[in-house]
A and B are shown apart, each in its own frame.
Chain A
Amino acid sequence: MTRDEERLQELLEKQQAGLLKAADRYEIPSQPMPAQDAVRRRSNIDEVALGYTETQARLEAMRCLQCKNAPCVQGCPVRIRIRDFVAAIAEGQYDQALSIIRENSLLPAVCGRVCPQEVQCQETCTVGRKFRDVEKSVSIGRLERFVADRDKGGSLPKIAPPTGKKVAVIGSGPGGIVCAADTRRAGHDVTVFEAFHKPGGVMVYGIPEFRLPKAIVQDEIDVLKKMGVQIVCNFIIGRTRTIGELMKEDGFDAVYIGVGAGLPRFMGIEGEQLVGVYSANEYLTRSNLMRAYEFGKGSDTPIARSRRVAVVGGGNVAMDAARTAVRLGAEKVYLVYRRSEKEMPARIEEVHHAKEEGIEFHILQNPKRILGDELGNVVGIECLRYELGEPDDSGRRRPVPVAGSEFVLDVDTVIVAIGNGANPLIQQTTPELEFNKWGNIVVDEKCATSMKGVYAGGDIVLGAATVILAMGQGRTAAAAINEYLTQP
């Protein structure tokens, strides 16, 4: 028996005797996530975080205090009964843990990997609070992943008898998948329309393999298909058919719009049209969806062969782009972010992993212009140093430039990862829908739009959402659609 197994055994015996105190639980060390070696993974695209062993999972679950008020549940956007599933893991009841998660989340293998737990469930965790360190909270996300990965699949949700109603789901990202599953379970005839040639949305084109293996997404898509959901790729709503046509001519009774991110934002600085300047969307899509990392070895989509790369931004997408650049062979990757590291919206784990992989963080710095040669290729990026001033509207201290602090980073590629606007296609082609001034669809608390029978969620509503928020809205919309379709 290993030391950890012995420890677990002792704890279990103590618990059985009713002697396990909070103090004992505090003493269990936070279980580290096993990860692929940092040097080796720089040159492969395999998943970095390897997942807990059974012993680790149970030890981590034993750290949970089983608080009466379960603050973790309040921190979860879809209110998963976290305390209860963690208790089930501690008891070794993994199937039960999974079915508790499944009550509220359909994509535990995905969310366990990509949710920003430290600003959700783990932020409010009593254990983390006790140590005044969110990284010492119970690792709820890793536990969620643990039970999801053990699931062999096979059991399909029960489908109600056919209602004769038809639902169109636009976009096959996390919101679309959940909405399709929930409306299908109610017995409706469901079709998912996807613009790309592969379903999965941001989980396929955006989040890299090393953070979310595509096989996991494919499993979720396969479940949908087995449930009888029809998935139609290469179909662009607004262009191939409009929402109006789907409802008036094609017989769809309800529509969910989950089309995701739109046009990438650029900084509006000199040099952004140079060759070698990418939006993170483009860079990641080329690499993930189009497999540019296998260019010449099967894949036909090229990507810059970069030596030195600057990624601008501090979110998960920026980390993904920087770490992808490393894997594509860049010798040096800089991450330029205008606020301090504390303000970075990226998951802590991604920041750790990025640093381990040798990405050089340039915080409190911001590009002023991108420099090019006579052929229009990027040769450098001129940045300004910043310092933190007064708090702004978001409550974060506003970065202010330090006059005369310009300096140049020698790079041949710049990847801009500062967010997206709304996708304009639906707005251009659906005059009946109400949009706000940023081009996002206006919805009520049930995700209903201004058009009867049409619901929306995810990035197209929220601007920048996360997988879990999109999933939550897909679920809310599905409930509203099911209610709408059973009205006499």
Chain B
Amino acid sequence: MRIGDVLFQEVIVTYKIVSKKQLSDNVFTVEVEAPLIARARKAGQFVIVGVSDEYGERIPLTIAGADPDKGTIRLVFQRVGKTTAQMADMNVGDSFGYVAGPLGRPTHVEKFGTVVCVGGGIGTAPLLPIATAMKQAGNTILSILGARNKELLILEEEFRAVSEEVIVVTDDGSYGRKALVTEPLKELCQRDPKPNLAVAIGPAIMMKFCCETTRPFQVPTVVSLNTIMVDGTGMCGGCRVEVGGKTKFVCVDGPEFDGHQVDFDQMMKRMSAYHKQEQQAHQAYQEHRCKIGLDRK
């Protein structure tokens, strides 16, 4: 049997969910069968997920981990709209319509020295493979994990395993320090020697302020952007963002960029382009869900 025949066995997968865990109220993690992606993916890359073939929306999700032997990838998502709500309603054994990838340029990993990893909310999930790869390249990892409250904090243990130091902050002080991630980030930048690199992944507003925090210290800061996309392969241009005054495409030029060059304000406006329609769709789905009794577990 030629290797090509093996390829086909692996191609004909059904993107089946093999495990599912609810991390907090609205945050879920699933392991999905996708052997070729599991093998090809590198830290920092993402996939496009569609719940159904015909009518589903294509949404980009950063890969939070992979097991090439098992042929699975791990995704972490937050229930925010209709598609993620549908995903949250899926169970082990159910299949996504499709998962395509891995997309985007992998994280540039080398020995920088000390790398600060800042994760906010579910941004913590895609940050983990990057922190792991940076650690493997010989860097010292200092991690800052932020969440609105204790309940929403994810992957703390995993980060402790790869980090020299982990600083946890919550907005309400229910766990760790009561602070925003920028506060400990500033303190780390003030250390002597200062960190060689910062990697910040989280809500756009958090990444923006992380960049403002590191800028005066001239600590290079990488951010991973999660803009609106359709194809994800460099065709539609919907994911464009201004970086250093130039138009860049998150799907093929990114998703990681020099955060000090990114025009976050514009990006955030573009990200809310469909806010109203998304809310309507989500609401309609919730009503439909109640009628068919999905919410009565």
Residues of A at under 8 Å CB distance from B? Answer: 166, 191, 195-198, 205, 230, 232-236, 239-241, 249-252, 260-264, 266, 268, 272-276, 278-279, 281-282, 285-286, 290-291, 294-296, 298-302, 304-305, 375-376, 423-425, 428
Contacts and interface: CB of A to CB of B under 8 A. Distances in A.
B138 interface: no
Given A264-B237, A425-B234, A236 B103 contact: yes
Contact of A301 (B2, B57, B102): B57
B7 interface: yes
9 contacts: A234-B99, A239-B40, A240-B102, A261-B235, A262-B235, A263-B252, A423-B233, A423-B235, A424-B234
Interface string B256-297: 000000010010011011100110110010000000000000
A275 B269 contact: yes
Given A282-B230, A301-B58, A197 B97 contact: yes
Contacts of A294: 55
Given A236-B103, A260-B235, A300-B55, 20 more contacts: A195-B231, A235-B11, A239-B103, A240-B36, A240-B102, A251-B5, A262-B234, A262-B235, A263-B237, A264-B237, A266-B237, A266-B247, A272-B247, A291-B55, A300-B82, A301-B58, A301-B230, A302-B277, A425-B233, A425-B252
Given A302-B281, A428-B252, A236 B230 contact: no
Contact of B37 (A233, A240, A302, A305): A240
Contact of B238 (A276, A282, A291): A282
A195 B284 contact: no
A275 B235 CA distance: 19
Nearest to B52: A300
B269 A376 contact: yes
Nearest to B8: A230
A78 B128 CA distance: 54
What are the nearest 5 A-B pairs in CB distance? A376-B269, A251-B4, A300-B57, A282-B236, A302-B277
B50 interface: yes
B281 A282 contact: no
B233 A195 contact: yes
B4 A240 contact: no
B258 to A, nearest CB: 18
Given A240-B101, A278-B238, A296-B284, A232 B11 contact: yes
B61 interface: no
A241 B233 contact: no
Contact of B234 (A197, A230, A263, A302): A263
Contacts of B236: 264, 279, 281-282, 285
Contacts of B50: 197
B100 A236 contact: yes
A197 B55 CA distance: 11
Contact of A298 (B8, B40, B55, B273): B55
Interface residues of B, number: 55
Contact of B3 (A232, A235, A251, A295): A251
A393 B36 CA distance: 47
Nearest to B238: A282
B83 interface: yes
B98 A197 contact: yes
A233 B231 CA distance: 13
Contact of B270 (A239, A275, A279, A290): A275
Interface string B2-24: 11110110010000000000000
A299 B11 contact: no
Given A241-B40, A423-B235, A273 B57 contact: no
B56 interface: yes
B157 interface: no
Contacts of A375: 269
A205 B231 CA distance: 10
A249 B3 contact: yes
B156 interface: no
A285 B36 contact: no
Interface string B218-259: 000000000000110111111011100001010010000000
Contacts of B2: 250-251
A240 B40 contact: yes
B53 interface: yes
B272 to A, nearest CB: 8
A366 B272 CA distance: 29
A20 to B, nearest CB: 51
A195 B277 CA distance: 27
A302 B274 contact: yes
Contact of A275 (B36, B56, B242, B273): B273
B83 A376 contact: no
A299 B230 CA distance: 14
A261 B102 CA distance: 20
A197 B53 contact: yes
A196 B281 CA distance: 23
B286 to A, nearest CB: 14
A234 B269 contact: no
Contacts of B278: 302
A460 to B, nearest CB: 12
A463 to B, nearest CB: 15
Given A241-B36, A300-B55, A376-B269, A423 B234 contact: yes
B247 to A, nearest CB: 6
Contacts of A263: 234-235, 237, 249, 252
A273 B266 contact: yes
A268 B82 CA distance: 35
B7 A250 contact: yes
B98 A233 contact: yes
B183 to A, nearest CB: 29
A196 B277 CA distance: 24
Given A197-B50, A251-B2, A236 B233 contact: yes
Nearest to B103: A239
